[in-house]
Structure 1
Amino acid sequence: MQIYVQSCGVYPNHDYTWVRDDNKQIKPSLLYSIDRLRQKNAPSIIISRTGGELILLVFGLRTSQRYDFQGREIFNSLVWIAQVAEEAFVRKLAACALRREQDFLKIIDRSIVDDDNDELGFKVLWTQIKELSFARKAEEKLPDSTRKIGKNTQEMRKKLAEELDQCKLPEQEGAIVVVTGIVESETLKKAGVWRSLSRLVEHEAWEEFTKQKEDFIGKPLEILRLIYTYLVYCFERIC
């Protein structure tokens, strides 16, 4: 399993930067394929599948005592890239993030600290993050394959967390779960996301939908974006 962290330091030259668990400064390539499904710079949770790997993005976690030079609160973001065999752990991480469980949040918070002596302005205590575990196990029920979308509210996030606790993820490529801010429902529906929550959705409860077929005719930029993402992903795996 690979882990990436994005954070920043106190001073102006310590901008938000992604760093991998080998301390290499690099943005997870798989993010390029899901960035369009989330509101930039807004708290988001995404689970996506590419080949035999799962990617979990938890974006915009608040820190308890870290502020930049202007007194603005610093936010942390994390990405886990796991094998399919580690799906239960990925689902538990996502469920904890959805419920904003204090034990989960405290471990992440204290694992990313200010470090003025580092060029990034922060330091990641990777051992603490990698030791993150759960006493309770996720169940392995078969998922309801019906695609559903709803409004991003605390109650709906709780319902989604319960489903992730109990059910396996469907066998589909691309984005499986998306929880974000202001993203049009049509964007999420066209992507065929299995479970999605957005603040722009009007329905307080789940709304079922059928995925529309993608039409790539006349969309050369979309095709090039997918090819680029795949090539960068393959290059990272080789390195």
Structure 2
Amino acid sequence: MKIYVQSRGFEQEYDYRWLHVYGDGTTEQEIPPISLEVTNLIDSESNSIVLEKLNREEILLLITGIEPDERVDFLDRQIRISVAWVGLISDEPVLKNLAVRALQAEEQYSLTAEINQAVPLGGKYGFYIDSEKMRQLILAHSSPQLPANKPPNLTKKIGKNSAKLRTQLAEELTECQLPTQPGTLVIVTGIKKRETLENAVIWRSLSRLVEADDWEKISITNLIVRLKLLIKLASYWVESICNLISPHKEN
């Protein structure tokens, strides 16, 4: 499994950067394979959780905005940590175990503490990665704690990023397999508009800007109507531009 960590050091010159840690403990600067869609769908500075099937063979778990206690920079600003795990489809249970912990309030604090211990301050980039502790974190979630025998409910749903819906999503991930199709499957984030998430047609999406206290189905019909309207407006705009730049007809 590939592991990437983003953070920064205490001093000013040690800004945020992604590091790829290899099995032998060596690291190099490398950005994980996060799609542009995911980048546009999350508020990366707040705590966000993403599950994405990159293709038929790989799956990505991204947790951003991890804020360990008393981890601050030279201006006393909070230092955040983000972690991306890229595994094979066979690693789905491990990645879902980690996602479930990140979703549950009582587990999130201990997970944050474990990640903080695995990413100490210091070294060449202002922080470094303890590959052994990262490996232990994965091994701790490798046991088949999640049965996940049920096929997923493929109805796409959206809701508010609340404790209630986070718990329900954790339960669903515990009981069910992920949908098989490649693409972004789960988005849990802070400040993202409902319309933005709906247009992306994510399997499960939660945002603090969504007002629905319960899960709501994403209406594909409404999306089609909206798309047709956008196409119509675009066609009108193109026609107007063409009329402006075309030679005037002589009377």
Choose which of 165, 182, 196 in structure 1 pairs with 2:191: 182
Q: Which residue of 2 aligns with 1:110?
A: 117
**Of the candidates 27, 32, 35, which is equivalent to residue 31 of structure 2?**
27
Structure 1 length-normalised TM: 0.84
Which whole-Å CA distance do the structure 2 matches of 1:31 and 1:24 have between them?
20
Partner of 1:114: helix, strand, or coil?
coil
The Cα offsets for residues 114-168 of structure 1, whole Å up to 9 and x where unpaired, read as 11xx231011101111111136611221111111100011111111111111111
CA–CA separation in structure 2 for the residues paired with 1:203 and 1:98 = 18
Cα deviation for residue 111 of structure 1 reads 0.6
Measured after TM superposition, the shift of residue 64 of structure 1 is 2.3
Aligned-pair CA distance for 1:173: 1.9
From 110, 134, 157, the equivalent of 2:166 is: 157
Counterpart of 1:43 (choices 39, 44, 47) is 47
Query: Residue 64 of structure 2 aligns with which residue?
Result: 59
Question: How is 1:215-230 mapped onto 2 (pairs within 5 angstroms)?
Answer: none
Q: Which amino acid aligns with 1:29?
A: P
> What is the distance in 1 between the residues matched to 2:194 and 2:180?
22
1:73 to 72, 78, 83: 78
- What does the per-residue CA deviation read over 1:14-62, in whole Å, with 9 as the maximum and x for residues that have no partner? 1011000131101113243410111241211011112121111100111
1:170 to 161, 172, 179: 179
Matching residue's letter, 2:85: W
> Counterparts in 2 of 1:67-106, with a 5 A limit?
67-100=72-105, 101=107, 102-106=109-113
Q: Is the 8 A contact 2:156 2:201 kept in 1?
A: yes
Deviation, structure 1 residue 179: 0.4
Matches of 1:182 and 1:2 in 2, distance apart? 28
- Per the alignment, residue 135 of structure 2 pairs with 130
* Larger strand fraction of residues: 1
CA distance in 2, matches of 1:122, 1:44: 21
Q: Is the 8 A contact 2:64 2:83 kept in 1?
A: yes
TM-score (norm 2): 0.80
Distance, in Å, in 2 between the alignment partners of 1:3 and 1:169 is 21
3-state DSSP of counterpart to 1:19: strand
SS at match of 1:36: helix
Equivalent residue number for residue 234 of structure 1: none
Letter in 2 for 1:64: D
CA RMSD of aligned residues (A): 1.9
User: Which moves more between the two structures, 158-167 or 23-32?
Assistant: 23-32
Question: Among the aligned pairs, what percent are the same residue?
Answer: 35
For the 8 Å contact 2:44–2:64, the answer to whether it is kept is no
Distance 2:50 2:9 in 1: 25
Which amino acid in structure 1 is aligned with residue 74 of structure 2?
Answer: F
* Alpha-carbon distance between aligned partners in 1 of 2:68 and 2:111, rounded to the nearest angstrom: 12
Give the letter aligned to residue 18 of structure 2. W
Letter in 2 for 1:104: L
* C-alpha distance in structure 1 between counterparts of 2:77 and 2:144, whole Å: 36
Unaligned runs of 5+ in 1: 219-239
Q: Which amino acid in the other structure matches residue 40 of structure 2? A: R
Q: Comparing both structures, which one devotes a greater share of its residues to helix?
A: 2
Extract structure 1 runs of 4+ deviating beyond 3 A: 210-218
- Match of 1:82, SS state, is strand
